[in-house]
Structures are given as structure tokens and as C-alpha cells.
Chains A and B, each alone.
Chain A
């Protein structure tokens, strides 16, 4: 079945530095790739997403890139701040298929931003 691998599992950066989290998916039919941020004890919240017809998407300090050929997608956070500290999850799904809506999540990356 579909599998999503996420790396690294933990990431520690200094405030102001950039952070990059990478994911690889197995099903070439996947066409929707969201990223969720989960603060301690809270719900996962969608922060950015990308569809397979786009190679890059930006929203202020965060950006996501997609390489369909290599089946890779990445989250980039620039000018990190302590409030960016959280667990980040990538996910993949196949919209428009019989499995529409079925998100497969990566294992998560714990990001720590040191002041």
C-alpha cells in the first residue's frame, strides 16, 4: 500500500536559521501533499499544501517543493522562530480516485527552534 517516509525524525536549529523536512511517497498516483503542524497537546493543523500540477508553493516563511519524478516533497521554513517549535507531519493522498480523501501520514519531525 501507499507509504510515506519522513526525515529527519528530530531537527534542532538556531532561531533565524532555516529548517528543511523531507518526505518520500511510494504511490506515483498520489497528487495531493499537505503539511500539518502539531503543537504539544494540540490538534494537527494544516499549514500548507501542494497539488501535483505545481512544483512549488510559498506562504510567507514557509514553502513546499514537489519533485514528482523522484516522488519527493519538502517543507522549508525560513527565519525560524521559537513558536515554530512543534511536530510537523507530511501526508499524501490520491484525490479523484476511489481513495479520495485518504491521507497517509509520515512519522513526523520534531522541530526545536532554540532562542
Chain B
């Protein structure tokens, strides 16, 4: 298995632009998580899905952030409009109820820079 795949690996955009981050979880995993990592705040859970349904989005910072999971093999995190303070590394992770709900495997991350 290729593991969790994220794209793009790096994204540089101007303030005000829309940004879409993409994630393909490990095949067969039924949980998908979006995390944001910054020096100041560490690893923050933004939202997670179970069987494509959002379970907890309490970590989404504001309405500019939205996430979707249209099917079991794809999820997006969208920021519209983007702001410089959104600059961070965004990780997607997945896990399986069969191997332990919380045993999450992370993707390589997307490094987002908003200028």
C-alpha cells in the first residue's frame, strides 16, 4: 500500500485566493483526519470523518475552512479566502476500526504558504 497520499506537497498562494488540499486515505480505512501543524500551536485536529461522514469539525478555525469526503478514497480541505495566518503544514491521516480507531497513519503533508 502506498500509504496516505496528499497533494500538493507544497502550495504558495496569494492572500484572498482559494486553496484546495487533497487526500487519499489508505484503502480500507474508515476514519480520515485533517490536522494542521504550526510552531505556535503544534498539531491541531481540524476535522475528522467516519465512513465519509464528518463526525467532529470543532477544530475548524472559521467559516473560511471547509472539508468534504465525497467517497471513501478522497477528501478535500478548502480554504476560501486564504490568509497569511493559514500558513502551516496540513496533514491528512487515516485509520481503521479494525486495527484500532486511533492508530492513525499520516500523509506527507502539504506545506501551505500564503503571502
Contacts and interface: CB of A to CB of B under 8 A. Distances in A.
B91 A43 contact: yes
A103 B45 contact: yes
A18 B23 CA distance: 38
A91 B104 CA distance: 11
Contact of A100 (B45, B91, B102, B108): B102
Interface residues of A, number: 23
A89 to B, nearest CB: 6
Contact of B106 (A43, A106, A107): A43
B34 interface: no
A102 interface: yes
Interface residues of B, number: 22
A34 B43 contact: no
A44 B100 contact: no
B56 interface: yes
A45 B42 contact: no
B108 A102 contact: no
A32 B108 contact: no
B45 A93 contact: no
Which 5 residue pairs are nearest across A and B when measured between Cβ atoms?
Answer: A43-B106, A105-B43, A101-B101, A93-B102, A100-B101
Interface of A: 32, 34, 36, 42-46, 49, 89, 91, 93, 95, 99-108
Given A44-B91, A101-B102, A103-B45, 11 more contacts: A43-B106, A44-B43, A44-B106, A45-B106, A46-B104, A89-B42, A93-B101, A100-B50, A102-B102, A103-B102, A108-B43
